[in-house]
């Protein structure tokens, strides 16, 4: 049974709170997943009162509320309280502590969710600690921060030092919403609950692994953030590196959070370092230009609002990594992400080697396609294997067929948690399994830091690709052999 708590949201009037946090908490309440006594305290600088804030949030949630019982929205809004405060003012934190301690209906346990720019994390943590809101003498305290966890390796280590100066590691929850997605969670179960795959899950049978996240959307209204981040920081260092760790990790001794995170860290530590003089052989970047998506003309990155005319920020990044351990030695892992691509989607594609004996070399099917195992993250949430079968009739002919293990909501199940809902429940429960540990963040930064440093010095030119395509063809040079290609979708013709 989950403990009741005060769920404090800093930056509650911002985009993340409006589109993800409050809707997710509402859905959890509708599903009966929240503790009865849980209270949501929204912190912001605007002149709201609790009553006017409830009305405002009610407008945001009204479309979702129309799909459920008429009492669900009033029931949820009754959990909401508003606190006017400025995170730049120490007095605001004194007042916040007094509010938390003196309001009778507020439980003693507290979650502090920083829905703020990353530059504010250390300052808010310091201010909370200064008034004793990091102390657990009367109940537990948990601090949740969103990615990016730093700008580069040095900045990430500085952020970590600042946070851990004021909060213990068990109080810190570094959220990566990708880890809450259904298929991502299913990767773990799929690997370790099915013994038939384990003998094949190694360098002896697997040719290579691809991890892809593509978006048809551009940067939209995130110009200031994206110009300072780029595709490598935004997606590969966080989301895709976590996918790699889940695919490549060894079975943990048990299911506790530390055992799982220990195995993920071992993978990140085993990634072969890329020296600066080898960056171009292992990584490729590009930027989208004008093109067409869905029949509509779309502008290039340099034509987007508030983007500098000579920006070399990458909107596409791809890299090749090797994991130097007994299981994966010399198996390439290809990671790729991009904006304004042909289609939106995320998946993991694992290609197996050819059978060692060329049994069919003197038949019409001497060149048999290799087997694939496909793990769809979004929009398709499924696990799919591609195998060869014989076509009926005279002669030896084959075709590729797909065996689909759908992970969609089972028939009769009325509710399905999305990524944020799953992770918010975990933080209330105190489960770190799907949250990043300090050393996970550091080792992931160590992998990409050489690329960031090299690219930061190359400000005169960046390769481009037309919007609405699968990215620059020059990225194919990362592949080890000519028969390797990017797997663009879960369909049979995915290459």
Catalytic residue set: 239
| Residues recorded for the chain | 495
CA–CA dist 337, 54 (Å, integer): 39
CA-based nearest residue to 163, from 444, 425, 437: 437
CA–CA dist 34, 427 (Å, integer): 12
Count of Cβ atoms closer than 10 Å to residue 270 Cβ:
17
CA–CA dist 169, 438 (Å, integer): 8
Residues paired with 399 in a beta bridge: 389
CA–CA dist 438, 157 (Å, integer): 9
CA–CA dist 335, 209 (Å, integer): 9
Find where tokens 């590969």 sit: 236
CA–CA dist 144, 423 (Å, integer): 11
Q: Provide the total of helices (H) and of strands (E) in the chain, helices listed first.
A: 14, 18
Q: Is cis: bond before 74, omega within 30 of 0? A: no
Q: Got the DSSP string for 318-352?
A: EEEEEB-STTTTT-EEEEEEESSBSS-EEEEEEEE
Which residues, other chains included, contact 405 with Cβ-Cβ below 8 Å and sequence gap of 6+? 382, 383, 384
CA-based nearest residue to 319, from 340, 339, 338, 333: 333
CA–CA dist 474, 315 (Å, integer): 15
CA–CA dist 56, 149 (Å, integer): 31
What are the structure tokens assigned to 330, written together?
């010399």
Find where tokens 């909370």 sit: 128
CA–CA dist 383, 388 (Å, integer): 17
Strands (E), 96-154: 110-114, 141-146
Give the neighbor-by-neighbor strand order of the sheet with 206-214. Answer: 398-406, 382-390, 372-378, 345-352, 206-214, 332-338, 316-322, 283-289, 464-466
Find where tokens 């360098």 sit: 203
Which residues, other chains included, contact 367 with Cβ-Cβ below 8 Å and sequence gap of 6+? none
CA distances from 35 to 107, 112, 339, 423 (A): 11, 17, 39, 15
């Amino acid at each position: 049974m989950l403990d009741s708590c005060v769920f404090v949201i800093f930056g509650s009037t911002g985009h993340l709170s409006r589109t993800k946090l409050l809707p997710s908490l509402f859905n959890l309440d509708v599903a009966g997943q929240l503790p009865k006594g849980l209270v949501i305290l929204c912190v912001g600088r605007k002149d709201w009162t609790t009553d006017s804030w409830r009305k405002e949030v009610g407008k945001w949630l009204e479309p979702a509320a129309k799909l459920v019982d008429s009492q669900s929205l009033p029931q949820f809004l009754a959990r909401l309280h508003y606190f006017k405060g400025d995170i730049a003012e120490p007095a605001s934190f004194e007042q916040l502590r007094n509010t938390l301690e003196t309001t009778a209906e507020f439980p003693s346990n507290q979650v502090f969710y920083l829905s703020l720019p990353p530059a504010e994390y250390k300052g808010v943590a310091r201010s909370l600690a200064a008034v004793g809101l990091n102390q657990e003498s009367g109940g537990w305290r948990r601090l949740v921060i969103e990615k990016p966890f730093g700008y580069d390796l040095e900045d990430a280590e500085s952020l970590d030092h600042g946070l851990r100066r004021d909060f213990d590691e068990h109080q810190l929850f570094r959220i990566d919403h990708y880890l809450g997605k259904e298929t991502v969670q299913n990767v773990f179960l799929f690997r370790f609950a099915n013994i038939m795959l384990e003998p094949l899950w190694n360098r002896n049978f697997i040719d290579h692994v691809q991890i892809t996240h593509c978006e048809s959307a551009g940067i939209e209204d995130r110009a200031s953030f994206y110009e300072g981040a780029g595709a490598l920081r935004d997606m590969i260092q966080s989301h895709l590196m976590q996918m790699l760790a889940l695919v490549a990790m060894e079975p943990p001794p048990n299911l506790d959070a530390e055992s799982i995170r220990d195995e993920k860290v071992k993978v990140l530590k085993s990634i072969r370092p890329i020296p600066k003089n080898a960056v171009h052989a292992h990584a490729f970047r590009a930027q989208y230009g004008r093109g067409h998506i869905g029949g509509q003309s779309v502008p290039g990155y340099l034509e987007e609002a508030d983007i500098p005319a000579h920006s070399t920020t990458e909107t596409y990044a791809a890299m090749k990594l090797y994991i130097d351990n007994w299981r994966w030695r010399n198996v390439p892992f290809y990671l790729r992400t991009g904006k304004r691509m042909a289609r939106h989607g995320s998946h993991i594609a694992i290609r197996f080697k050819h059978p060692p004996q060329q049994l069919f070399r003197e038949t019409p099917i001497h060149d048999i396609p290799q087997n694939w195992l496909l793990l769809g993250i979004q929009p398709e949430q499924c696990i799919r294997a591609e195998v060869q079968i014989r076509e009926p009739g005279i002669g030896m002919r084959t075709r590729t067929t797909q065996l689909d293990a759908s992970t969609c909501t089972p028939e009769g199940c009325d509710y399905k948690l999305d990524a944020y809902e799953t992770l918010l429940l975990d933080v209330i429960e105190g489960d770190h399994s799907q949250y990043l540990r300090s050393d996970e963040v550091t080792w992931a930064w160590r992998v990409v830091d050489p690329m960031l440093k090299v690219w930061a010095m190359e400000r005169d030119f960046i390769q481009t690709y037309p919007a609405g395509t699968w990215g620059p063809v020059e990225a194919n040079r990362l592949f080890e052999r000519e028969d390797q290609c990017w797997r663009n979708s879960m369909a049979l013709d995915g290459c």
